[in-house]
Amino acid sequence: MGKSGGYRLGSVEDSEIIRNFRWQDLEPNTAWTAWRAARLRVSERLQALPPVEVDSLESPSPEAVRELEARCALGNFAVYSVAHPETDVAAASAALARFAQHFGLLESEAHRSSGAAGVVALRTSSEEGKKGYIPYTPKAMNWHTDGYYSAPENRVAGFLLHCHQKALSGGENQLMDPELAYLRLREADPAYVRALMHPEAMTIPENREPDGTIRPDSVGPVFYPDPATGRLQMRYTARTRSINWRQDSATLEAADWLRAWLAAGDPLMRQIRLDRGQGILNNNVLHNRTRFEDGASETDRRVMLRLRFHVRVAEEIHGAAE
């Protein structure tokens, strides 16, 4: 694969165009045209690639790390597959936290349900399900990015979703790169993007959480720059209850357009049912989940391990002189 492993995903030029695009400039210009062409080209290539093989979560090869970083830098997510996954949840969680560190994901989100090494084990739990947390039930989950209700200082910029065990049936994920959501919206009407960049575009009202704590109003844009890199990040939920869109026609039309587009699908949308030992490393992309059914045997119950971060997957070009 060599030092330039990631470049076979696209030319050096495409890679530069993607990394340096000033997405907040919505004037029609050649930079937008060039970026759009590069993004579509690269995404089509990414779409066709098999998962990156990882020998060991604790010590992945430098080639695997480079390849995963390159895919995330260009397309915001990458799927990996571990040859010999751990059988024990605690051991798998610890290995996953070590794996994250190879991508600059050092400090995970503080979460009420996190166990070993900050990892949350998502599985059907009658206790959590009763409290109304959909992630702990077999129900379908609509399109969202993680932490869309978080305070600005706690926004989720990246996460790892790792399949420890599959359900008997169902539990597929669909993934959509936020930069492609931006691209499609901008193609439809740049005013949609402008509306969704507004600092008060989307409000998730204050709520008493099922565990009794009060989560304050979360007011913010849908598209915003990552504070560390300037790259586009997205805060979104397709829910229609307990959400207040800014009351102007461009915002409401943009929200409707986005919801309809996600429901209809896109050629560059990715559909995946993770196998045991497979996972998704990503910059908080749009995702959903289909309903699933656990089996009677302990090994037919879906267990997903999740780690969230306030920073994106590292983007250093390895081997470049500093």
Residues that bind Fe ion (CB under 5 A): 146
| Minimum gap (Å) between residue 141 Cβ and Fe ion | 7
Residue 15 or 233 having the CB closest to Fe ion: 233
Chain mean position to CA 197: 19
Residue 246 or 306 having the CB closest to Fe ion: 306
Return the structure tokens found at 76: 């915001």
| Minimum gap (Å) between residue 188 Cβ and Fe ion | 25
Write out the DSSP string of 26-73.
Answer: -S--HHHHHHHHHHHHHHHHHHTPPPEEES-SSS--HHHHHHHHHHHH
- Tally of CA atoms within 13 A in the half-sphere of 46 that contains its CB: 33
Return the structure tokens found at 93: 């969680």
Nearest residue by C-beta to Fe ion? 146
Alpha helices in 189-294 (DSSP H): 190-196, 249-264
Residue 193 or 202 having the CB closest to Fe ion: 202
> Radius of gyration of the chain from Cα atoms?
19
- Cα separation, 321 vs 113, in Å, equals 42
- Cα separation, 301 vs 169, in Å, equals 9
| Minimum gap (Å) between residue 77 Cβ and Fe ion | 13
Residue 10 or 147 having the CB closest to Fe ion: 147
Residue 146 or 177 having the CB closest to Fe ion: 146
Closest CA to 181 of 153, 145, 220: 145
- Cα separation, 225 vs 209, in Å, equals 28
| Minimum gap (Å) between residue 304 Cβ and Fe ion | 10
Residue 6 or 279 having the CB closest to Fe ion: 279
| Minimum gap (Å) between residue 2 Cβ and Fe ion | 35
| Minimum gap (Å) between residue 66 Cβ and Fe ion | 27
| Minimum gap (Å) between residue 319 Cβ and Fe ion | 34
Residue 99 or 143 having the CB closest to Fe ion: 143
